[in-house]
Amino acid sequence: MNSIATRLHKLNFILRTEEQRFKRDLHAVQLLAVSKTKPTDDIIKAYQVGQRDFAESYLQEALLKQQQLAHYQIIWHFIGPIQSNKTRQIAENFSWVHSVDRLKIAQRLNDQRPKGLLPLNICIQVNISNEASKSGFLLTELAEVVEKIQQLPNLCLRGVMAIPKFTADYEQQRVPYRLLKQAVIDLEQPSLKTFSFGMSGDIQAAIAEGSTMVRVGTGIFGQRN
């Protein structure tokens, strides 16, 4: 196997092991391959061993890759910051958006989603550690934001996304994810089933606290260019 295939095999083994460890359902946690800055050849190598979901942060780079890989059955996720002038192309070319951090952005994605496409799957970005350097809604805003976004017919609100403040301590890694999961549970919205959190450095903590989608880049493709 090539190195990408080997890394994917190891990662999927880790996911299945952690699911069992924390009494999660088999395949409850989905692997999202973060392919930003990586060439299409690397994406094809991952695709050839079964990976289907790929995440991009840089719009123009992503659109070029989508054009080059149009004959592959790839599910494209957008995970980067969203400027207002980029919403139309995102709405037209992606299946998922994980970084909806303002109601204005949600409204624009809704209005610009082509009628021939299924509703755009979105996650609300939550600034779970209240960091000034990060965008996203506060936990106290979550209920109001969910109510408003659920009224937009061309969006399908699937859940939440978060990138907490970095810590190497496993128990501390679990705390913000636990708070976010409980906040969503408290909303009593059964349709909010996607918890997009956890990366290479905190996969175990994220799975322990209910992540359904972990985002991994260098752990699959190696160091970014």
Domain ranges of the chain: 3-221
Phi, then psi, of 137 in degrees rounded to 5: -80, 155
The reported pLDDT for the residue numbered 207 is 98
Per-residue pLDDT, 224 = 63
Contact by Cβ (8 Å): 166, 130: no
**pLDDT of amino acid 2:** 67
Q: Can you give the pLDDT of all 225 residues of the chain as single tens digits?
A: 569 999 999 999 999 999 999 999 999 999 999 999 999 999 999 999 999 999 999 999 999 999 999 999 999 999 999 999 999 999 999 999 999 999 999 999 999 999 999 999 999 999 999 988 899 999 999 999 999 999 999 999 999 999 999 999 999 999 999 999 999 999 999 999 999 999 999 999 999 999 999 999 999 998 865
pLDDT for 223: 81
Q: 79 and 90 in contact (C-beta within 8 Å)? A: no
The pLDDT of residue 225: 58
Are 109 and 97 in contact, with CB atoms under 8 Å apart? yes
**64, amino acid identity:** L
What pTM was computed for the model? 0.96
> What's the pLDDT at 75?
98
Could you give the CA distance from residue 219 to residue 189 in angstroms, rounded to a whole number?
33
In this structure, are residues 56 and 38 in contact, taking their beta carbons and an 8 Å threshold?
A: no
Question: What confidence score (pLDDT) does residue 132 get?
Answer: 86
* Superfamily, domain 3-221: Alanine racemase (3.20.20.10)
Helix ranges restricted to H, 22-141 = 40-48, 59-68, 87-93, 103-112
Write out the E strands in the chain: 30-34, 53-56, 75-78, 96-100, 120-125, 155-161, 194-196, 213-216
Looking at residue 1, its pLDDT comes to 54
